[in-house]
Chain A
Amino acid sequence: MEPSAIDNPGAPLLEAKGISKYFGAITALDSVSLKLERGEVLGVVGDNGAGKSTLMKILAGLYPPSAGELLFEGTSVRFNSPRDARAVGIEMVYQDLALAGNMPIYENIYLGREPGRRVGGLTIIDRKKSREMAANHLDRLKIRVKSVDQPVEELSGGQQQAVAIGRATAFDARVVIMDEPTAALAVKEVGKVLDLIKSLKEHGVSVILISHRMDDVFYVADRVMAIFHGRNFAEAPLKSTSRNEVIGWIMGTKGHTESLAHDRVR
């Protein structure tokens, strides 16, 4: 995960310009823009249905945008599938984790990209190498597991989340998009996953974090942006905003602070 050569100094690592997405008559996104700098953790907030997940799926190549442009290191890119996005180093950790519970940790990490010898479209898997690579990779991320041979379904929610993140970063990821990574976790596991996100940043990986939890956003993010009804609503460096202000953004109001603290809203 060493930082690669910078082609366009000054250009953001990933930029979305005027992205719109229509599903039939429904406008999910209306000219949304987003910038992600190198080594930055960007928190994306918004109410249910605001369009966060749609935007992320466009960035990860799962949906094509109806209009707008994606730039990676200042160069225009088009993704026809998650494979294309992955090829430039954009990985997504899905909310439902997308792990095969019946398979061991190391196989989940390299699923679809197994190390080994290519023979006419198939791979003869080098299991020993695969295990070693997985163990080393998890070690680098300080993810501790009993054994990489453990089936994923035997892991706790937090450990599964860690494996999903390990999987996303297994091949020189530059951007990792995470959709509500702590939503399904026990309280004691949340901190560990958030620390893992911080350690990704230390490894030079940029992270986009979608979260409902203000605590998560304020613990790991450098900058926060809010989407409201499919449009850019507000954004600010974390230092110059507050929880209550961001909660106001989620609900589509600006300039309120104390009066809109979520524990007082009826």
Chain B
Amino acid sequence: MADSAKGQALAPPPKLERDLRSRLLGEYGILIIVVVMAAALSFLQPQYFLSAQNVTNIVRQIGMNALLALGMYLVILTAGIDLSVGSVMALAIMLLAMADQAGWPWPIVILIGPAVGTLIGLINGLGITLLRLPHPFIMTLGTLNTVRGICYLVSDGHPVSGISDPVRFIGIADIPLPFGGEFAVIPVSAILLLVCYFGVAIFLQRVSLGRHIFAVGGNPQAARVSGINVDGVLVFVYATSGFFAGLAALLMAGRTGSGYPNLGIGAELDAIAAVIIGGASFFGGRGTILGVFAGVLVMGLLRNGLNLMDISAFWQQTLIGIVILLAVWIDVLRRRSGRRT
């Protein structure tokens, strides 16, 4: 369509250089940060950081936040927020641990986490759409407290340990690699993460409902007059966020072998941080799966690296705060360079 001397072509000619710069900063900027962090850590801790043991350790450590952030990403794409995921995870892990202890068959026990999560997610979604509360912040702030309270009530505040091996499989098992020695393994949880991330990525790209999530975040009014069931899309994203919180509970049940009622206090903020570091817009409609994963990695590498270097956890939190601000500032720069009209 180069023959646009006449007609509706009113935009300035494409500026390749500008496009490239905005792409570098935007889509790959966060990946560059991940690579730089990994390079710095392998330089500072050459004997530990890239060891097979440490790498699988990182993969295991990021699992929970990776799943929570994936669900949170869908919610943030619709310009919403889900504060309840930490509490949902705690209730899910207590219920599945108690069911396991009561001798329920493991194929049912492993479904409890995702089922409980989806149910509470549905309640969030229905509350937001049916009760017309002014912002999802309020509905999920309510469930954050209520669900955590229910979690303490059902568990009486006590942890439940000794979760059976088949239930722990997804969270703890490793598939040994044919080379590289004792610690060269692929954790089953890593495979679960890959499946979830690929699944959501394809869903968001290729399925109408996935595109409608972007439309609802971009312009809910446009979505509505296009015949999209906006409320249905919202209920779906909160239910999915709950589902992933429940799946994260199953992962943690496997990793730790026990259910404890104060699991995931503040986990919702880590999930939000990962999504925002990954370049998704808080105002909805913008973001990439790759960015979310990079955001999760940045937080994971930061924690791991500071642990390896024996720097106190107080510094970890300080730095994560700075990284959030830095990442969003890069995004602001990108937008400015990408759209100067």
Contact = CB atoms under 8 A, between A and B. Distances in A.
Report the interface size class on chain B: 20 to 34
Given A123-B207, A124-B207, A127-B206, A101 B218 contact: yes
Most A Cβ at <10 Å: residue of B8, B208, B219? B8
B218 A156 contact: no
A125 B207 contact: yes
Contacts of A62: 225
A102 B226 contact: no
Contacts of A123: 207-208
B133 interface: no
Interface string B239-259: 000000000000000000000
Contacts of B225: 62, 82, 92, 94, 98
A37 interface: no
A246 B93 CA distance: 72
Given A96-B221, A111-B226, A114-B208, A103 B7 contact: no
Given A142-B7, A144-B7, A158-B8, A99 B208 contact: no
A144 B8 contact: yes
Is chain B's binding surface mostly helix, strand, loop or mixed? loop
Interface in B190-223: 206-209, 211-212, 214-215, 217-219, 221-223
B226 A146 contact: no
A76 interface: no
Given A98-B225, A102-B286, A124-B207, A143 B219 contact: no
Contacts of B226: 98, 111-113
Contacts of A100: 214-215, 218-219, 222-223, 285
Given A82-B227, A114-B208, A147-B1, A192 B8 contact: yes
A107 interface: yes
Contacts of A189: 10
Interface in B223-275: 223, 225-228
Interface string B7-22: 1111100100000000
Contacts of B206: 124-125, 127
A92 B222 CA distance: 12
Contacts of B132: none
Interface string A121-161: 01111010000000100000011111100100111101100
Contact of B207 (A107, A112, A122, A188): A122
Contacts of A116: 208
A144 B9 contact: yes
A145 B8 contact: yes
9 closest Cβ pairs, A-B complex: A100-B218, A112-B226, A144-B7, A102-B218, A102-B285, A123-B208, A98-B222, A144-B4, A112-B227
